[in-house]
Structure 1
Amino acid sequence: MSESSHARIPPAPPRQPLPLMQLILVGLQHVLLMYGGAIAVPLIVGQAAGLSREEIAFLINADLLVAGVATVVQSMGIGALGIRMPVMMGASFAAVASMVAMAGMQGVGLPGIFGATIAAGFFGMVIAPFMSKIVRFFPPLVTGTVITSIGLSLFPVAVNWAGGGAKALPFGSPIYLTVAGLVLATILLIHRFMSGFWVNISVLIGMVLGYVLSGLIGMVDLSGLAAAPWLQVVTPLHFGLPTFSLAPVLSMCLVVVIIFVESTGMFLALGKITDREVTPGMLRRGLLCDAAASFVAGFFNTFTHSSFAQNIGLVQMTGVRCRSVTIVAGSFLIALSLVPKAAYLVASIPPAVLGGAAIAMFGMVAATGIKILQEADIGDRRNQLLVAVSIGMGLIPVVRPEFFSQLPLWMGPITHSGIAMATLSAVLLNLLFNVLGGAEREALARAAHQH
C-alpha cells in the first residue's frame, strides 16, 4: 500500500445528522464530563507556582481556550492536523509532576514551563510522522489490553469523585454517596426504559438532577461568582516571555512521547467504537494535532495537551459517534474561556455528581477493551499472560503511586502513567511472544493442523 493511500482518511460510515438541540445537549455532556480534568492541571500548577486566585483563574481560562480550539481542530480536521473523529482535548496529566517540580526551581517557574511546553510541542511535530507508523504494533490483543487498562486506570478518579472528592471531609459521607447514586441510577434507568434522544443525553439528565439535589442540600458553592468578570480575553505571553532550560525541555519532550503512546491507544479505541479503521495517516494527523496544540499552548499560558480518555466512554455509552458533537463541545469550551462567570458556574458542579456519571463512563471504556480482546486468541496461554501482566503493570501507579518513587526523576512521566505502563508492556510482550517468534509458532501450528 502506498504512502498516499495511508494518508487518505476513509470516509466515516453514513449517519443521520442530529437535530440542533440534541447536538447542543450532547456536546454539553462532553464538556461537563471533562471540565473537572481540564481545570485541574492549571489549578495544581498555579498553586505550586504561588499564583494569586486571579492569576490561577487566568490560567484556567487559557487552558479552556486552547482545549476548545484543539478539540475543534482535532474533530474537524484542518490542513494536516486532526484525526476527524469525536475527540475532546485538554491539558495532559502526564506532565503535572514534572511541572510542579519546575515551578519550584530557581530560574524556571512559569516562563520555564511554557518554554519547555513550546519546545516539546515542536519536538512532537517532528516525531509524529515516525510515531504514527507504530499502529501495526497494535493488533486486537494489544489494543484490547490497552483500552481495558485505560478504563481501569480511570476508576480511582470516579471513586474519588463519588466519595465527595479527594479532599472531602468526611470522604464517603452518605450525602455524597446518595448524590452519586442518584446520578448513576438515573443514567441506568434511562438506558433501561427509554431510547433514542433520551439515551443520548442520559448523562446530562443524571448530572442536572444531581446538581439540583446538591443545590437543595447546600453542596453547591457559588461564593465568588459575583466577583468573576463577565468577559475576559486570554492574551498570549501574559506571564512574560518563555525561557528555555535544557533539563525542563528534555523532561517535557519525554512527556510528549508518553502522550503519543496514550493518544495512540485512545485513537484506536475510538476507531473501534465508531467503526473506523485508524490508518497510519489518520494517526499521524491526530498526533500532529496533539503536538501542535502543545506548541501553541506554551504561547497562550497553558500546558501540554492530549485527548481525554473519559470522553471515549461517553461516545460508547450514548452511541453518538459523529464528530459534530465534539466540534460543538469545543465551541462551548472557547465560549467558557471568554466568559469567566459561566466557567465558574460549571466549576461549581460537586465532585459527587461527576462521580456518579464517571462510574458508568469509565466502566464502558474497560468494557470496550474486553470486547476487543474477544477478537484475539485468548485461548493461547502466552496471550493470557500478556493481558495479565500488562493490566497488572498498568494498575501499579493506580494502586500505589509511590511504587516507583526511588527510580530516577526523569522516568516519572512513564512510571506515573498507568496507560503508558500498560501500553509499553503489551507492545513489548506482543513483540516477544507473537512477532519475534511468529515464524516458529506458525510452523508449529501448521504441523499440529496436519497431524
Structure 2
Amino acid sequence: MNSKPSDMHPVDSVPPIGALGALALQHVLTMYAGAITVPLLVASALKLSPEHAAYLVSADLFACGLVTLLQCLGVGPIGIRLPVIMGVTFVGVMPAIAIASQPGLGLTAVYGAAIAAGLIVLPLVPMVGRMRSILTPTVTGTAMLLIGLSLVGVALDWAAGGRGAPDYGSPTNLMLAAATIATILLVTRFGVGFFANCAILIGMSSGYVLAALLGMVDVADVKAAPALQLVTPFHFGLPVFDPAAIASMVIVILVTLVESSGMLTMLGDVVERPTTPRDLARGLRADCAGAVIGGLFNSVPYTSYAQNIALVSMTGVRSRFVCAGAAAIMLLLALFPKLSALVAAIPPSVLGGAALVLFGMVAASGIRSLSAARLDRSREDLLVVGISLGVGLIPTFNPRFFAAAPEILAPFTHSGVLLGIITAIALNAFLRAGGASADAEDSVPNDSVPAVAAGA
C-alpha cells in the first residue's frame, strides 16, 4: 500500500496502481449504460447512420473523460478536485433533439448552442445560490418528471423494435425487451454491492447476448470500423450559433447547475471534505466548461453522475485519482471505433428494455423531488406542477399544436421539457410574488390534495 503523509486527506491519496486500475474500471462500468444511452438516443431520433451513431458514442466517452479529468484534478479556478465522474445530462437530451430536428440547424446548432451557453453561464456561477429561490424543488422536480415522461415514449418505440422497423411490435422484440428488464430486476433484487449498481449494464449485456443467439445482431459495421480513430473537434462541421437554440441550452445548463450543486455538496459530505462556496464555484465552472468541451467534441452538456457518488459511498474509496483513472479509461475506449460500433449495434428492443427502466427512474427522481416540495400544503405549488406538466406534455401528445408558431421558436415549441421548465419558473415567480408561502393560512387540507391533483 502506498504510504502517505499522516496529514494527507484520503481524497488526495493515490492508491497502488493495480488497485487504482480496478477501482477506476468499476466506476466506468457503473456509469457506462447511462453514458452511451444518450448518444444512441440522439442518433435514433435523428435517424443517423450506424457509422455516425458509433462516432457519437466515441465522442461522448472522450468528452466524459476530459470533463471528468478537469473536475477531479482541476485547472486553476475550474474543477472541484473531488472523486467525481462526469456524464452527459439527460436534461439536455430532448432540447438537443428539438434543435437538431429543425431545418437549417442540425447537430452543428446543438454544439454551437452548448459552446455559447457554457460561456454565457460561466460568469453567472456565483449566482447559483440565488437561483435556488427560482429553481425550487417544485420546478426541478417537474423538469425531471417531464424529462422521464418525454423519454419513456422513445423507450417504448425501441422496445417494439424501433420506429419504422418492419418487425415493429413483433413477439421477438417484446420478448427481448422483457428479458432485459427481467434481468435488471433480478440483478437488483439478488445482486450485492457493485453488481447491483451495474444492474442496467448487466441487463443490456444479457439482452445483447440473447439477441446475438437469435441472429438479430448485425456486426457488418463493427467489421468495417477502423481499428483506431481520434475524436476530433467539429466532426460534423463548424458550429452554428442560433439565438433560440442558445437560449434553450442556457436554460438547460442553469437547471443542471442547480442539480449539480446539490450533488457536489452531498459528495463533499460523503468524502468528509465539506464543500465550501469556493469549492462549489470551482465545480460548477467545470460544468460550464463541460458544455463547451461537449460542443467542441460533438456532444452535449455534462453533470456529475449520482450512481458514481453512490459507489464512492458504498466502497469508501475517496481518492479523486481513482476517478481520474476512470477518465483515462474512457479516453482510451474512445479511441477504438470497433467498440463504439459494437455498442451502436445493440438491437433497439434490448436498448428499449433498459431505457424503459432508466427513463422511468429519471421520472421517479422527479417525483422524489416533488415529494420534498410539500405539495400537500400548498395550492400554489400544486398549480405550478399541474399546469407545467400540462404545457410540457403538449409536444408529446399533440406535435402539431404549435404548427403556426414562428420558426425561430422551434427549439422551445418542439421541446416539452423546456416548455415545462419555463412555465414552472414563470408560475412559481408569479404565484410566489409578495412572499406567498406554504403556511397554514395558504395551505390546503391533506384530504383535499387528491381531488386538486386529479382536477389538474
Amino acid at match of 2:384: L
Return closer, same or farther for 1:159/1:337 CA change in 2, 3 Å cut-off. same
Alignment TM-score, normalising by the size of structure 2:
0.73
Partner of 2:338: 341
Are the counterparts in 2 of residues 135 and 279 from structure 1 also a CA contact under 8 Å? Answer: no
Return closer, same or farther for 1:279/1:336 CA change in 2, 3 Å cut-off. same
Quick one: distance in 1 between partners of 2:310 and 2:149?
16
Return closer, same or farther for 1:333/1:419 CA change in 2, 3 Å cut-off. farther
Return closer, same or farther for 1:317/1:119 CA change in 2, 3 Å cut-off. closer
Q: Select 1:135's aligned residue among 132, 142, 153.
A: 132
Quick one: distance in 2 between partners of 1:86 and 1:435?
38
Amino acid at match of 2:155: A
Are the counterparts in 1 of residues 178 and 353 from structure 2 also a CA contact under 8 Å? Answer: yes
Partner of 1:166: 163
Of the structure 1 ranges 68-77 and 348-357, higher mean CA displacement relative to structure 2 is found in 68-77
Quick one: distance in 2 between partners of 1:39 and 1:202?
19
Query: What RMSD over aligned residues (CA atoms) do the two structures have, in Å?
Result: 4.3
Return closer, same or farther for 1:295/1:382 CA change in 2, 3 Å cut-off. closer
Structure 1, unpaired ranges of 5+: 1-10, 13-17, 447-451
Are the counterparts in 2 of residues 397 and 416 from structure 1 also a CA contact under 8 Å? Answer: yes
Query: Deviations along 1:222-257, whole A, 9 cap, x unmatched?
Result: 0032222111223446678x487xxx4424422331
Amino acid at match of 1:263: T
Quick one: distance in 1 between partners of 2:341 and 2:187?
29
Are the counterparts in 1 of residues 117 and 253 from structure 2 also a CA contact under 8 Å? Answer: no
Amino acid at match of 2:193: G
Return closer, same or farther for 1:230/1:263 CA change in 2, 3 Å cut-off. same
Partner of 1:258: 251
Amino acid at match of 2:87: M
Partner of 2:7: none
Quick one: distance in 1 between partners of 2:22 and 2:344?
23
Query: Deviations along 1:15-66, whole A, 9 cap, x unmatched?
Result: xxx996465245224223331422554787796xxxx987886666445423
Q: Select 2:354's aligned residue among 354, 357, 365.
A: 357
Percentage of identical aligned residues: 35
Quick one: distance in 2 between partners of 1:332 and 1:405?
46
CA shift at 1:163, angstroms? 1.7
Partner of 1:392: 390
Alignment TM-score, normalising by the size of structure 1:
0.74
Return closer, same or farther for 1:197/1:297 CA change in 2, 3 Å cut-off. closer
Amino acid at match of 1:144: G
CA shift at 1:278, angstroms? 9.3
Are the counterparts in 2 of residues 42 and 60 from structure 1 also a CA contact under 8 Å? Answer: no
CA shift at 1:220, angstroms? 1.0
CA shift at 1:265, angstroms? 5.8
CA shift at 1:88, angstroms? 0.7
CA shift at 1:139, angstroms? 3.1
Return closer, same or farther for 1:135/1:232 CA change in 2, 3 Å cut-off. same
Structure 2, unpaired ranges of 5+: 1-9, 12-18, 444-456
Return closer, same or farther for 1:31/1:210 CA change in 2, 3 Å cut-off. same
CA shift at 1:182, angstroms? 1.0
Are the counterparts in 1 of residues 39 and 56 from structure 2 also a CA contact under 8 Å? Answer: no
Quick one: distance in 1 between partners of 2:147 and 2:278?
24
Of the structure 1 ranges 346-355 and 62-71, higher mean CA displacement relative to structure 2 is found in 62-71
Quick one: distance in 2 between partners of 1:281 and 1:405?
46
Quick one: distance in 2 between partners of 1:33 and 1:346?
13
Return closer, same or farther for 1:363/1:114 CA change in 2, 3 Å cut-off. closer
Q: Select 2:151's aligned residue among 151, 154, 169.
A: 154
Of the structure 1 ranges 164-173 and 261-270, higher mean CA displacement relative to structure 2 is found in 261-270
Quick one: distance in 1 between partners of 2:232 and 2:374?
53
Amino acid at match of 1:390: S
Are the counterparts in 2 of residues 162 and 356 from structure 1 also a CA contact under 8 Å? Answer: yes
Query: Deviations along 1:84-105, whole A, 9 cap, x unmatched?
Result: 6544127954244444546579
Partner of 2:301: 305
CA shift at 1:283, angstroms? 6.8
Quick one: distance in 1 between partners of 2:239 and 2:181?
46
* Alignment size in residue pairs: 415
Quick one: distance in 2 between partners of 1:318 and 1:392?
38
Quick one: distance in 2 between partners of 1:336 and 1:219?
25
Partner of 1:5: none
Amino acid at match of 2:88: M
Q: Secondary structure at the match of 1:405?
A: coil
Partner of 2:412: 414
Return closer, same or farther for 1:352/1:26 CA change in 2, 3 Å cut-off. farther
Q: Secondary structure at the match of 1:226?
A: helix
